[in-house]
Amino acid sequence: MVATSTRQMTADLLVIGGGIHGCSAALHAALRGLRVIVFEKDTVARHASGVNAGGVRKLGRHIAEIPLSLHSMSIWRHIADLVDDDCGFQPAPQIKVAETEAELETLRRRVAELNGLGYTHERILDRQTMREHLPGVAEHCVGAIASLDDGFAQPYQTTFAFQRKAQKTGVRVLENTPVERVFKSGKDWKVSTGGQEFTGRFVLNCAGAWGGEIARQIGDHAPVRAYAPMMIVTERLRPFCTAVVGATGRPLSFKQMPNGTVVIGGGRPGVPEPASNRTHMQMAELRHSAQTAMDIFPVMRAAQIVRSWAGIEGLMPDGIPIIGPAAHAQGAFHAFGFSAHGFQLGPGVGDVMAELIATGRTQAPITPFSIERFPQNPTRAHKELS
């Protein structure tokens, strides 16, 4: 990374993290006329945003996330209009099967709750309708909950598309550029990396699993921890499933790709090592995901696994991200800790963050995601920032 002039080292917005959230917020901010620099310690999409399962689902969202998820979905449906690339987005139903009557009853209550709140995107599929969508599903499955107009996309293709369009719109993306220090100097924010200091009016923490340290330097406390979801991909099978499938009583994310391979995730995690960027697979745990897939789709009993991997993701104790302004510091913002379901939210949350930063407000209901839901330490923050 070489910055040659003061102008190149100054921007309106300094974004820390080149995942889907950093690249999306940067693009949306540039579209609003802000000068933006993105700092990425490795390479764009190197972490969760590049290696995830690609699920684009409204199904099963925490109630607080639904408005953001709906907003994101409206962008996904026309994603090429925003980033000049279809991101491999394929519309597909997302279906979560019930293996027992008790599970199906839980799903019915979920639909009733959503309907009571005015949301109609999730519905119950009875046994026969579920089978029409999932002809290969096991006999013991009794029904399902579904969001029929969800989909999936290609993670690397998507994040690179946001990066490219951001760059075309004037954003500078500095890869292999770890932010070592973030601090306030007068009204401005400073970011230091490799002996250089960059200046911006605003700073946005999109550092994923590493977001806790950036938050600490900004003066906030966020109990984010690194988490390593594991994935499996099989050899190519004849086409048998066009939906993205989950289970109700046990973790599963299951989809057959257009080339016939089956991508399975959602199970127990591996061991993350965020300091070294490494993850360790837990093969004994991976067996549970494979077993769930075989139980729900008997055709999977004959499938060969060809590859497995894990990615590093930021997990919050309550399973929902931190989105919004810093607790104590003017001009600083957070969007991290997406707790293994932030890919779908990327396009919409970037838009919301850009609106918040550029205008000082947003219509989006982001209060539930405030960093202030966790205990903060104002005394320390003020001392660090003074």
Ligand X SMILES: Cc1cc2nc3c(=O)[nH]c(=O)nc-3n(C[C@H](O)[C@H](O)[C@H](O)COP(=O)(O)OP(=O)(O)OC[C@H]3O[C@@H](n4cnc5c(N)ncnc54)[C@H](O)[C@@H]3O)c2cc1C
CB-based contacts of 312, cutoff 8 Å, min separation 6: 47, 48, 208, 209, 226, 227, 228, 272, 274, 277, 279
CA pair distance 271, 281, nearest whole angstrom: 7
Out of 89, 202, 210, 333, name the contact with ligand X by CB under 6 A.
210
Region from 91-99, 164-172, 294-302, 342-350 binding ligand X, contact rule CB under 6 A: 342-350
Axis-axis angle for helices 346-359, 66-76 (nearest 10): 110
Amino acid (one-letter) located at 76 = W
Give yes or no for residue 18 binding ligand X (CB under 6 A). yes
Q: Which is nearer to ligand X, 37 or 48 (CB)?
A: 48
Buried b / exposed e across 121-148, counting CB within 10 Å, b at 16+?
A: bbebbeeeebbebbeebeeebbbbbbbb
Give yes or no for residue 206 binding ligand X (CB under 6 A). yes
Query: How far from chain centre, in Å, is Cα 338?
Result: 5
Q: What are phi and psi of 141, to 5 degrees?
A: -75, 130
Give yes or no for residue 200 binding ligand X (CB under 6 A). no
Out of 88, 151, 229, 350, name the contact with ligand X by CB under 6 A.
229
Q: Are 372 and 325 in contact (CB under 8 A)?
A: no
Strands 188-193 and 90-98: unpaired
Q: What is the size of the binding site for ligand X (CB under 6 A)?
A: 40
Q: Which is nearer to ligand X, 52 or 256 (CB)?
A: 52
Q: Which is nearer to ligand X, 47 or 133 (CB)?
A: 47
Give yes or no for residue 354 binding ligand X (CB under 6 A). no
Residues 251-290 interacting with ligand X (rule: CB under 6 A): 253, 265
Residues 33-92 interacting with ligand X (rule: CB under 6 A): 39-42, 46-49, 51-55
Out of 93, 200, 208, 246, name the contact with ligand X by CB under 6 A.
208
Residues in touch with ligand X (CB under 6 A): 16-22, 39-42, 46-49, 51-55, 178-179, 206-210, 229, 231, 253, 265, 311, 313, 336, 338, 340-344
